[in-house]
Amino acid sequence: MDTLGALESFVSAVQSGSLSGAARLRSMSQPAISQHITALESQFDTRLLIRGRSGVSMTQPGEVVYKYALLLLETQENLNTALETLADEAAGKVVVTANIAFSHYVMGQVITELAEQSPDLKVTLRADDRIMDLADENIDVALRTGSVGNSSGFVRKIGTMSIVHVATPKYLDAIGRPQTPDELINLDYIQYKSTDDQIATILLHGKETIQAPIKVGLTAQVPYLVFQALHGHLGYAKLPEFLVADAVKSGQLEVVLPDWEIPGKDLFVVFPSGGNHPPRVITLLHALMKRLDATKGVSLVASAKHMHFNP
């Protein structure tokens, strides 16, 4: 027997003054209410209600049961409320992955902010340029740029980031500033990994699109080495604008061929599935979108700005 359900029927009968009133309160049939009360009387081996033409009244044992039934039902309601509140809190562990550059220059700030705002939320960051299978590796959300790969998951585009070619003024003073895309071949290109541009790079000018030739000077396997080579005046590199905006503003770096644009890279978040996301994941996404929206060179789509992540 559902004892709590039967007690609720009993309380409803007492408070409404009749079995039919209890049936209306509980959206049940009158016979079902009667069965609940009969089951309670059998369980406690005593009569709880006196049934009459004018309704029902409690016996002395019924008054005792009524008193404790109210306490039990209130406890159950408090328990449900506590569990619902817990489910809405951003607590627990959330695992996120992003490429190395984003992890260092964006996710680090996001995690720091979350540590202050949601101390019960523990973020594990997997900084890796590999495109991992989220379900297999128990990852809650991935931030990816350019390509999402072939792994399974639910993909949402969140925006686009601007890309620029940069070099130090000292390097450009020594080699010469290219005036046309064809003159890029005279500069040494600092390549990020072997999957980056190798013989040409796409440039845009209005409606014109060309493949500008490049000459690889060296290949760096981690972003730090790209910056080290740049500031060592060893060539020019192609980087997200947000990574170099401060250095360009201060004059440490200079945009190469500023009249020509490089196609932007799309930004995506990827989830293991397309279902509703728990509060801990939504809290992380909210902090991430807030940070990206304030990042120079990143343009978010409207749905990302307004946190429309749950279908």
182 alpha carbon, distance to own chain's centre: 42
pLDDT value at residue 263? 92
Most confident segment among 128-137, 154-163, 272-281, 299-308: 154-163
pLDDT value at residue 177? 95
pLDDT value at residue 152? 63
Mean pLDDT value of segment 271-277: 74
pLDDT value at residue 311? 41
State yes or no: pLDDT of 293 exceeds 80.
Answer: yes
Q: What are the backbone dihedrals phi and psi of residue 306, each rounded to the nearest 5 degrees, phi first?
A: -100, 15
CA dihedral 125, 96, 128, 270 (to 10 degrees): -170
Q: pTM here?
A: 0.64
Q: Which two tokens stand for residue 193?
A: 């990994």
pLDDT value at residue 239? 93
Range 15-41 burial, b when 16+ CB lie within 10 A, else e: ebebbebbbebbebeeeebbebbebbb
What whole-number percentage of the chain has pLDDT above 90? 33
User: How far is 264 from 266, CA to CA, in rounded Å?
Assistant: 7
User: How far is 307 from 310, CA to CA, in rounded Å?
Assistant: 8
Cβ neighbours of 106 (radius 10 Å): 20
Q: What are the backbone dihedrals phi and psi of residue 142, each rounded to the nearest 5 degrees, phi first?
A: -125, 145
pLDDT grade for 247, boundaries at 50, 70 and 90: very high
Mean pLDDT value of segment 52-59: 88
- H helices then E strands: how many in the chain? 11, 14
User: How far is 103 from 107, CA to CA, in rounded Å?
Assistant: 5
pLDDT value at residue 91? 64
Q: Which residue, among 161, 129, 119, 101, has the nearest Cα to 292 in the 3D structure?
A: 161
User: How far is 56 from 48, CA to CA, in rounded Å?
Assistant: 10
State yes or no: pLDDT of 83 exceeds 80.
Answer: no
pLDDT digits (tens, 9 = 90+) for 196-236: 677 889 999 988 899 999 999 999 888 889 999 999 999 99
The owner of tokens 């720091």 is 112
Q: Please indicate whether residue 58 or residue 199 has the higher confidence score (pLDDT).
A: 58
Residues in the chain: 311
Decide if 19 contacts 33 (C-beta within 8 A).
yes
If you average pLDDT over every residue of the chain, what do you get?
86
CA dihedral 290, 223, 130, 107 (to 10 degrees): -20
pLDDT digits (tens, 9 = 90+) for 132-191: 778 888 888 888 887 766 656 788 888 999 999 999 999 999 999 999 999 999 999 999
Mean pLDDT value of segment 295-299: 89
Q: Please indicate whether residue 90 or residue 235 has the higher confidence score (pLDDT).
A: 235
User: How far is 222 from 87, CA to CA, in rounded Å?
Assistant: 39
pLDDT value at residue 250? 95
State yes or no: pLDDT of 261 exceeds 90.
Answer: yes
Cross-strand pairs, 165: 238
Most confident segment among 31-35, 106-110, 114-118, 232-236: 232-236
pLDDT value at residue 60? 94
